[in-house]
Structure 1
Amino acid sequence: MNALKEPTLTTTKFILVTTQRSGSTWVIDMLNSHPQIAAYGELFLDKGKGSPTWCGGKDVTFWNTYFEEVQVPFKKTIKSLFIFKYLNHVYSPRSSIKSVGFKLMYPQMERFRRELLAYIFLNKILIIHLIRANHLDVILSQSTAAFRGVYHLRNSESTENVKLHLNVLQLVEQLQQQEEKILQAKSWYSKLGLPYMEVIYEELVADCRSFNAVLSFLGIKVDATKLSSSLKKINPKSHAELIENYDSVRDVLQNTKFCELLR
Structure 2
Amino acid sequence: MPELYFDQIRYLSLTKIPWVTLVDLIRKSKNIGESTYSFKTSKWSPLPLRVVLLTFVMIFGVYVCSVYLKQISLQKYPVDISFSSEKTKLSCNSHDIPPEEIPYVHFPQPKTFSRTECSCTPVRYFALLSMQRSGSGWFETLLNSHPNVSSNGEIFSVKERRSNITAILRTLDAVYALDWLSSASKNECVAAVGFKWMLNQGLMDHHKEILKYFKSKGVSLIFLFRRNLLRRFISVLANNYDRRAKQLNGTHKSHVHSKEEADILAQFKPKINTAVLVSNLSQVESTTADCLKLFNTTRHIILYYEDIISNQNVLQQVQEFLRLPVRNLKSRQVKIHRRPPSEQILNWDDVYKSLNGTKYEHFLHQRDYVT
Question: Which category describes the TM-score, using the shorter chain as reference length?
Answer: 0.7 to 0.9
Number of the residue aligned with 1:189: 295
**CA distance change for structure 1 residues 38 and 79 in 2, over 3 Å: closer, same or farther?**
closer
Cα distance, 1:78 vs. partner? 6.7
Distance 1:5 1:157, change over 3 A: farther
Comparing 137-146 with 78-87, greater Cα deviation is found at 78-87
Q: Encode CA deviations 1:193-216: one digit per residue, 9 max, x unaligned.
A: 221110111110123332111111
Give the strand-richer structure, 1 or 2.
1
- Whether 1:211 and 2:323 are equivalent positions in the alignment is no
Q: Which has the higher contact order (CA 8 A, sep 6+)?
A: 1
User: In 1, distance between residues paired with 2:151 and 2:169?
Assistant: 23
Residue 58 of structure 1 corresponds to none
> Does 1:86 pair with 2:189?
no
**Counterpart contact for 2:128–2:223, Cα < 8 Å:** yes
* TM score, norm. by length of structure 1: 0.79
Q: Distance in 1 between matches of 2:311 and 2:123?
A: 27
Give the alignment partner of residue 142 of structure 1, picking from 228, 236, 239: 236
The aligned runs of 1:92-103 (5 Å cut-off) are: 95-103=188-196
1:38 aligns with 2:147: no
Poorly superposed stretches of 4+, deviation over 2 Å: 3-9, 76-85, 87-96, 110-119
Superposition pairs of residues 1-263 of structure 1, within 5 angstroms? 5-6=115-116, 7-9=118-120, 10-47=122-159, 63=161, 79=167, 82-83=170-171, 85-90=173-178, 95-108=188-201, 109-113=203-207, 116-149=210-243, 150-155=253-258, 158=261, 159-160=264-265, 161-190=267-296, 193-223=297-327, 226-263=328-365
Deviations along 1:105-125, one digit per CA (max 9) or x if unpaired, are 112313554653343222110
Distance 2:177 2:222 in 1: 21
Whether the 8 Å contact between 1:42 and 1:102 is mirrored in structure 2 is: yes
TM-superposed deviation, 1:8: 3.9
Output the CA distance in 2 between the equivalents of 1:27 and 1:251.
Answer: 33
Whichever residue aligns with residue 275 of structure 2, its letter is L
Higher percent of residues as helix: 2
Gaps of 5+ in 2: 1-112, 181-185, 244-252, 366-371
Q: Closer, same or farther in 2 for the Cα pair 1:115/1:176, shift >3 Å?
A: closer
Q: Percent identity?
A: 26
Q: Distance in 2 between matches of 1:147 and 1:4?
A: 45
- TM (normalized to structure 2)? 0.57
Contact 1:37/1:97 (8 A) holds in 2: yes
Determine helix, strand or coil for the equivalent of 2:156. coil
Between structure 1 and structure 2, the one with the greater Rg is: 2
| Deviation string, structure 1 residues 41-60 (Cα, Å, up to 9, x no partner) | 11121348xxxxxxxxxxxx
RMSD: 2.8
Tell me the number of residue pairs that the alignment of Structure 1 and Structure 2 aligns: 233
How far apart are the structure 2 equivalents of 1:246 and 1:81? 45
